[in-house]
Structure 1
Amino acid sequence: MKSVTENNHAFWYDEQLLKEPVEKAFDAEYWHITGKVIGSATGRGTTWFVQTETVAAALRHYRRGGIFGKLVADSYWFSGWEKTRSYQEFRLLQQLRESGVNVPRPIAARAIRTGFTYKADLISEKVANARDLVAILQQTPLYTEMYQKIGREIRKMHDAQVNHTDLNIHNILIDEQQQVWIIDFDKCYQQSGDNWKQGNLERLKRSFIKEVGKCDISWLESDWQPLLEGYQSKR
């Protein structure tokens, strides 16, 4: 990881993955002008999918949610470069990959300080030919072995002592090779002990139940058991 701090900007990036000028890579207009935008997704803001020289990537600007987010859309209290959300997520993704967890490769992170606050962005690899569990389950049920694979991937994440504070079925993807991926690690962190892990699993189960009513996904209470079996099995 290369780190550059100049004026009120800080950049961290993987020189093997980012060949474009890091100062321009976080500007969506740069990718539009060069004709490298390959798609987009809308959530709290727009995530731009771009084709870098090395890989397809996702460019995301950090935005707040909830009522407070309507007042302060994308500014955060500054307490050190390495405490910024972008740096924290960049490093966490690196650590997860080193632990063998299927997460997107982090490409670059940026933070811009203005007085006591900062704004931040992250570029990570786009998981190729993958859909989240909601999109898949709206069309077809999953088989038992896939739920077991999902459980095993979550267990790998927990064995790396990473607390995914927003573990839900929008943040679990399956690609065309039937590999399971976990995404969106903003505000997530490494935590010692085991007491918090059950809470992660319960949150995930609630998201299955919620989406049954909201999006009419193909999921039954009995589908939870093979996921738990995969989680509890030894790798």
Structure 2
Amino acid sequence: MKSVQAKNQLIWFDEELIDSSEVEHAFDLNYWQKNNRIVGSAQGRGTTWFLQLNSLQAAWRHYRRGGLFGKLIADSYWFQGWQKTRCFQEWQLLALMREQGIQVPRPIAARAIKSGMIYRADLLSEKIPNAQDLVSILENQPLDAAMYRKIGDEIRKMHRAQVNHTDLNIHNILIDDREQVWLIDFDKCYQQDGDAWKQENWDRLKRSFEKEQKKRQIHWSAADFELLLDSL
């Protein structure tokens, strides 16, 4: 990781994934539009833009608050130091998990902009090629037992690294065209000692399946969830 600091902002970047000449433009939408390198977008809590870099595609996410508080203060956070910004902490967590063999996106660049005692932040991370989230897949077809066990094994790898995914849901689990499982969206996630909290991750995930079954009639049953708990 390298960094570039100006008066009111700090950008971290991986020079193997983004050219140093593009770092200053990494979070400039006009730059990517002008060079015809926006390859798509997705709506969630704000817009995620998909960009074409030289060697891979990237997802650009601006950090936004959710809930009622987010309607009042959409994207501002209390500044307590550059290394305590949400973008830097998510970068560090992704890097740690990749070192331990967990399938998560590579962080490419992160930016925090300070204004007085608050900051705003962005993260550019790898867009997993040819991947769909579980919601999209299960809307069209069921998964077999082996794939459920594969998903469960990836979650257990994350738990062995003592990473608490505080928003583990089926939108944040991807499967690519090589049937590899990926875990995404680690904003506000962290390493935590002990084991009791791990059951809370599983419970949240189960509620997510149940919610999407009612909302979208996905191809899923409670018996399928038991398969996640079995290892391959």
Query: TM-score band, normalised by the shorter chain?
Result: over 0.9
Could you list the structure 1 runs, at least 4 aligned residues long, displaced by more than 4 angstroms after superposition: none
Deviations 1:26-63 (A, max 9, x none): 11111101110000001111110000112100011111
Query: Aligned equivalents of 1:143 and 1:50: distance in 2?
Result: 33
- Quote the residue 2:103 is aligned against: 102
Q: How does 1:11-22 map to 2 (within 5 A)?
A: 11-19=11-19, 20-22=21-23
TM-score, scaled relative to structure 1 = 0.97
Q: Secondary structure at the match of 1:169?
A: coil
Query: Aligned equivalents of 1:59 and 1:137: distance in 2?
Result: 26
Structure 1 stretches lacking a partner, 5+ long: none
Deviations 1:130-174 (A, max 9, x none): 000000000000000000000000001111111000000000000
Shift of 1:97: 0.4
Structure 2 stretches lacking a partner, 5+ long: none
- Quote the residue 1:143 is aligned against: 144
Deviation larger for 17-26 or 142-151: 17-26
Shift of 1:21: 2.3
- Quote the residue 2:8 is aligned against: 8
- Quote the residue 2:35 is aligned against: 34
- Quote the residue 1:211 is aligned against: 212
Query: Aligned equivalents of 1:13 and 1:137: distance in 2?
Result: 35
Letter in 1 for 2:224: D
Query: Aligned equivalents of 1:57 and 1:209: distance in 2?
Result: 31
- Quote the residue 1:202 is aligned against: 203
Query: Aligned equivalents of 2:204 and 2:82: distance in 1?
Result: 31
Q: How does 1:72-221 map to 2 (within 5 A)?
A: 72-221=73-222
- Quote the residue 1:50 is aligned against: 51
Q: Secondary structure at the match of 2:120?
A: strand
Query: Aligned equivalents of 1:5 and 1:79: distance in 2?
Result: 17
